[in-house]
């Protein structure tokens, strides 16, 4: 199993919440998908699972990065859509933030794939006629284990 069909926003939130409960310090998630695919929706659910108030989670399309305080971990939420170059990424200190202290969520991270860490979880959201299909692609053994945990729990009805 490497994907799940999420018929509506609630189903996507459920997956995001499950993912959030399984994350640990240093984890990096790249959220990819077209405009309006549901990246922010999923990021919000992940952050909520980590103890952030849902109303604190906003799309960092213009700010590039938001930081939220979870109950145990800090969550860094990036949106690279409006970024023009890797140099700009350096200017905002992306390299120092990613994978350091807490959990990093990156919308549109695939636009700067060379700047991503070697190991991360790619969450690919594909729009279908109604709903979304969400694929998990692991880069690195840690994320492979994470995926296995996710799918085991999903198959068990979580
Ligand atoms: N199954 C689904 N999962 C998530 N969102 C859904 C789903 N079905 C419909 N939607 C709708 O799609 C939209 C997703 O918006 P969201 O801001 O999360 O997208 P995004 O991928 O972050 O977009 P952007 O590229 O602009 O940042 C919401 O309006 C949501 O209600
Ligand atoms: Mg978004």
Instruction: Give me the tens of pLDDT residue by residue for the chain, a chain 158 residues long.
Output: 899 999 999 999 999 999 999 999 999 999 999 999 999 999 999 999 999 999 999 988 888 999 999 999 999 999 999 999 999 998 888 998 898 899 999 999 999 999 999 999 999 999 999 999 999 999 999 999 999 999 999 999 98
**Across 9-64, where does the E strand assignment appear?**
28-32
Tally of structural domains, the chain:
1
Residue-wise pLDDT tens digits, 64-80: 999 999 999 999 999 99
* Measured distance CA(3)–CA(6) in Å, rounded: 10
Pocket test for ligand 1, best of 5, 36, 123 (most atoms within 8 A of CB): 36
- pTM value? 0.97
Around ligand 1, the residues with Cβ closer than 6 Å are: 6, 8-9, 11-12, 33, 35-41, 59, 107, 131-132
| Contact call for residues 136 and 154 (beta carbons, < 8 A) | no
| Contact call for residues 67 and 78 (beta carbons, < 8 A) | no
Residue-wise pLDDT tens digits, 123-147: 999 999 999 999 999 999 999 999 9
Query: Which domain range does residue 23 map to?
Result: 3-155
Helix 9-22 with 39-49: angle, nearest 10 deg: 40
Q: What is the CATH number of the domain that holds 77?
A: 3.40.50.300
Q: Which ligand is nearest to the CA of 33?
A: 1
CA of residue 87 to ligand 2 center, whole Å: 22
* Spatial CA neighbour of 94 closest among 106, 111, 82, 81: 106
């Amino acid at each position: 199993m490497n994907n799940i069909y999420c018929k509506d926003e609630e189903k996507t939130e459920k997956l995001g919440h499950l993912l959030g409960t399984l994350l640990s310090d240093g984890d990096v998630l790249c959220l990819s998908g077209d405009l309006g695919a549901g990246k922010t929706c999923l990021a919000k659910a992940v952050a909520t699972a980590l103890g952030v108030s849902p109303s604190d989670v906003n799309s960092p399309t213009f700010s590039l990065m938001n930081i939220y305080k979870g109950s145990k971990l800090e969550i860094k939420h990036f949106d690279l859509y409006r970024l023009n170059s890797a140099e700009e990424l350096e200017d905002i200190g992306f390299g120092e933030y990613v994978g350091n202290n807490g959990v990093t969520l990156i919308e549109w991270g695939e636009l700067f794939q060379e700047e991503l860490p070697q190991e991360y979880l790619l969450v690919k959201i594909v729009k279908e006629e109604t709903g979304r299909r969400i694929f998990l692609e692991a880069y690195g053994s840690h994320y492979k284990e994470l995926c296995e945990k996710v799918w085991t729990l999903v198959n068990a009805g979580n």
